[in-house]
Amino acid sequence: MKRIFTKISVFTFLSLLFINAAFAQNITVKGKVSDGQDQTTLPAVSVMIKGSTTGIQTDVNGNYSISAPGNATLVFTYIGYTTQEIPVNNRTAINVSLASSSQQLEQVVVVGYGTQRKVDVTGSVATIKGEDISKQASTNPVSALQGKVAGVSVTNVGAPGKSPKITIRGTGTIYGNTNVLYVVDGVWYDDINFLNPADIASISVLKDASSQSIYGIRAANGVVLVTTVRGKNGDPTINYNGSIGIQRVTNGVKMTNGQEYATAVNEATMIAADSLLLKNPNFGKGTNWYDQVLRTAMVTNHQISINGASEKSSYNFSLGYLNQDGIVEKNNYKRYTARLSNDFQIFKGLKIGYNVTGVSSTSSDAPTTIFRGLYSAAPIIPVFNPDGSYGDPAIYKLGNGSATNPQATMDFFNQTNKFYKATGNVYAELKFAKHFTFKTSAGGDFSQEEVRSYTPVYNATVAQVSNTSILAIDRIENRNWILENTLTYDNKFGDHSLTVLAGQTAQRYRSYTINASGNNVPYNKDGDLYLSLADASSRQITDKGSVNTATSYFGRVNYGFKNKYLLNASLRADAASQFFGGSDLWGYFPSIGAGWVVSNEEFMKDQEVFSNLKLRGSWGKVGNAGVPINPSTQTVDQSAGLIAFFNGQPNTGAGIRTLVPPVIFWERSAGTDIGLEMGFLSNRLNVEVDYYNRTTQQAIFDIPILGSLGTENSTLIGNQADFRNRGYEFVASWSDKTSNGLTYSISANVGINNNKVLNVTSGANPIDKGGAGLTSGVLPTRTVAGQAIGMFYGYQVTGIFQTAQEVTASAQPDAKPGDFIYADNNGDGTIDGNDRQYLGNPNPKYSYGVNTNFAYKNFDLTLDIQGVAGVDVYNGNLAARFGNENYTKDFFDNRWHGPGTSNSYPSANMSGGRNYLANSFWVESGAYVRLRNIQLGYTLPEMMTSKWKIKKLRVFANAQNAVNFFGYKGFSPEVGGTPTNAGVDINVYPLFATYNLGVNLTF
């Protein structure tokens, strides 16, 4: 059967590609397009050959002329009018009258397990077209969503090949898998980094619990539906999309030069120890470490596709190649993608099809700590000494012997990553008994990732020495599958419309990991490094794995009456192996939504204000299965350090080193959404307003436990708290055309979200986190009832001590002039932990975007602006002080260096006393606004391209993140992190701008 299927696919593909192309003959078709009511001519009407990308626009007088096959179909599209498809039938003159329509209402959007007219949707669903995604310079399609959808926040990681973090209407879950669910052509994923953005036809973001609940088991963080490009009716079309560009750091942080650094260090050591560290501080400009290691990086992106269809089948095949250098030297990422889809109409009622995607990527990685190293490196240290050896911070006793040379860090770091993934699905769809459709699909993915890290023998500086070479290999395999069956009844009778869906899903996720290492592996310049070359006694291998399974049943009913009154109800039942052994093996996730299309009422027919007015409301529950398997075994440890005496004789003892948490059960999220949709001026102006209130119930937290219990556990996992996200969303869009042929659209969106922990389990301790890499393990975030998740927590700075007399008279007698003055909030005359307070919120309150498109004759312009506000960042780079790290130029210019010099910036002795503690000085505004994307394109006239047998040739220039405005004193306020320690900036990848030149070519 497999062999027959393969032959059919290949035969169909070749037949369409060659036979149809050979027998098609073009003729020139001319005509005029006018308004069907008043017969005025319409400029800038899109005239396309169906099934291709070939098309033109009417001129200012409504005239058009296009070369098309005699058997082609022309598609006429204009904002505010009904699209018309007219067969050519070998005619050379075709005049067209377009009828006005409510195009916005007839728009079809993708929802869970199907599609709906937008007017019939009772939940909150946002759709982004593939063409809007492809106009971004983003290498990952998720990045292209930034600023496009109200209530959706995207945090970019920056490093090549890494996936951005997307959050829908605030934090959905705290522990375990916090990713949204991506559904690509029916298959479930945690990310879509394997997809080429050019292969995407549309993305639908399901934002409310009503639309999400049909995916109950994994919908707690939101659902993103991705539809890929399929074959289109028409002759075979070959498309090429390519670009080449550079990436460059923007908003760089200026550090002190050698002379300024020496001045600051000496001030610090005089305050701390009454001595000068640098006796001769004449170092001039010194080394600019950012200029030394960072670079202008190249990026190239190419994609070619072949698309077409006949009456019985369709196909789409694409190949993609991405080569992206990181802004750090030696960092590089290459990705190869291939995608093939076929659909076959076997007979009138039966359709089958498949799609398969393969991706292969390789990367040369950069050290994860390199940006912290560049920030802290002393500028008085040369990259290399005159004799060729590395400049060593130890010569000046910097960092107590722990300071490093960033160039040596880069030179002796050797880590590569290889990744392979094959994924896809196959389906069959049978329509029978007029109103029934049965669909079955099977999909899955197989991936393998291998990370090889090699440390050679070297001696660079006192702190950078390796006497033994080490090879470490980590290999991860994932094998997942999903099987789904749905039966749909769809009927319209009289004033009623009814759609009933019933379905079943079975899934399995399997992960297998091997970690291996060995010592004394000899260096090989060709990179042939194997564990078999290591000392046999040093080899270590561990392996582990997990298998999670789930089974689900779901159903949904959509009912409409007179296109005015809408009702949607669904129920999903999920059972997941993670919860085996608990009382809640099955989770049940209901939802209900209702809509009222007010503009279709009789009493609205004579009004001229609204062309569309719709009120909708919904409620639903979703779940989170991305949690650990229920631990149920109490482990006992025996070791020589534990002694038990029996009859006076010592014996090896045993101790309970772990605590078994209570049984973990389903984490549920219940949400309400109320929306108002309005259209004005024949739907040229559309406004949408939403209010939502979502509560995550019995949320899974890792609560700290007391060390005095004597266990190895530092936290206890369990259903510990409830928290809420509540907010508003506003979307407004305007689309129009002018008499001189300019068409344009402008849209703006604003999301407002408030996060709050409502309650915690009785006796649960606050969650203090965020201290990795900070001085003395400072924990600057706290999660507790009554506050938002991960609030910054510490001391409030009220000023700077100017004199010793001020210190003596204060609640901080151990301080020195130039130190922070902390507020004595409880008034007890002592500064201690009881004086700490909440200092800032890492959860953005406001997110917004403005997106515009303009087209005039052969020119097109896209301009997107994006930003966030009402958010704070903890400047951990500035706060981390372990001994004579570098200073920013801003700090140096504003520091306290004597009475009256500053009452806001401390002295250079930032690590002295209690200056390093979490406090308000380190908390800064994370608000920003940026020119997210600007692209200018020009499409060559058809009279030029037709000579070269080209259907369409468009060239463009693109800039992304080129202009940024923010007050934060770090590289970028776009700082990620897990929910309980988000917004702490230590070692964050710098923000960079991308400048591209590209071409879109169609044959």
DSSP-assigned states of every residue in 129-166:
EHHHHHTS--SSTTGGGTTTSTTEEEE---STTPPPEE
What pLDDT shows up at residue 105?
53
pLDDT means over runs of 10, the chain (1003 residues): 39 39 69 76 85 81 88 83 84 85 65 88 91 82 91 88 90 86 92 90 92 92 92 83 94 94 93 86 91 95 91 91 94 96 92 96 93 94 96 86 90 95 96 94 95 94 93 95 96 94 96 94 78 88 90 96 95 87 79 95 89 95 79 59 68 64 80 95 92 92 65 69 95 89 93 94 75 82 93 96 95 95 94 95 96 92 96 92 90 96 95 91 96 94 81 93 94 90 88 93 89
Q: How far apart are CA 84 and CA 35, in angstroms?
A: 13
Q: What is the pLDDT of residue 39?
A: 67
Helix (H/G/I), strand (E/B), else coil: 254: coil
Q: 111, 117, 202: which is closest to 677 by C-alpha? A: 117
Sign for the CA dihedral angle at 99, 104, 106, 108 comes to positive
Cα three-residue angle 829-834-840, rounded to 5 degrees:
115
Residue 777's pLDDT is what?
Answer: 82
- How confident is the model at residue 18, as a pLDDT? 37
Report the pLDDT value the prediction gives residue 835, as an integer from 0 to 100. 96
Residue 127, both tokens: 């759709």
Radius of gyration from C-alpha coordinates of the chain:
32
Distance in angstroms (rounded) separating the CA atoms of residues 137 and 135: 7
Domain total in the chain:
2
Domain end call among 66, 101, 136: 101
Q: Cβ of 201: how many Cβ atoms within 10 Å?
A: 17
CATH, residue 96:
2.60.40.1120
Burial 437-462 (b: 16+ CB within 10 A, else e): bebbbbbbbebebbbbbbbbebebbb
231 found inside a domain: no
* pLDDT value of residue 305: 94
Residue 174's closest CA among 586, 751, 540, 624?
624
Strands 952-966 and 928-939: antiparallel
Q: What pLDDT is attached to residue 653?
A: 66
Which structural domain range is residue 705 located in? Answer: 243-627+664-795+841-881+916-1002
**Residue 295, CA atoms < 13 Å, CB-side half-sphere:** 12
Question: Tokens 């479930």 map to which residue?
Answer: 188
Q: Which long-range contacts (CB under 8 A, 24 or more apart) does 731-736 make?
A: 731/150, 731/686, 731/687, 731/688, 731/689, 732/685, 732/686, 732/687, 732/688, 733/685, 733/686, 734/684, 734/685, 734/686, 735/79, 735/80, 735/684, 736/79, 736/684
CATH number of the domain where residue 531 is located? 2.40.170.20
**Residues, the chain, total?**
1003
Task: Outline where DSSP puts E strands in 456-564.
Answer: 458-459, 465-466, 470-493, 496-519, 540-561
Q: What is the pLDDT of residues 251-303, one digit of tens each?
A: 899 999 999 999 999 999 999 888 888 887 789 999 999 999 999 999 999 99
Tokens of 512: 């297998």
Q: 205 lies in a domain?
A: no
Is residue 651 in a domain? no
Q: How many CB atoms lie within 10 A of CB 776?
A: 11
In a domain, 183, yes or no: no
Residues 6+ apart with CB under 8 A from 2: none
d(C-alpha 703, C-alpha 796), whole Å: 26
Distance CA 918, CA 895 (A): 19
- Opening angle at CA 677, ends 674 and 678, nearest 5: 145
Structural domain contains residue 561: yes
Per-residue pLDDT, 698: 87
Is residue 41 within 8 A of residue 32, CB to CB? The reply is yes
Contact 430, 349 (CB under 8 A): yes
User: Which of residues 79, 101, 123 is at a domain's end?
Assistant: 101
What is the model's pLDDT at position 712? 54
pLDDT of residue 640: 56
Distance CA 175, CA 628 (A): 9
pLDDT of the residue at 14: 38
Would residue 400 count as lying in a domain?
Answer: yes
Domain stop point among 64, 80, 101: 101
* Residue 89 in domain: yes
**Phi, psi at residue 268, to the nearest 5°?**
-65, -45
pLDDT of residue 362: 96
Lookup: tokens for 492: 């319209």
749 domain-assigned: yes
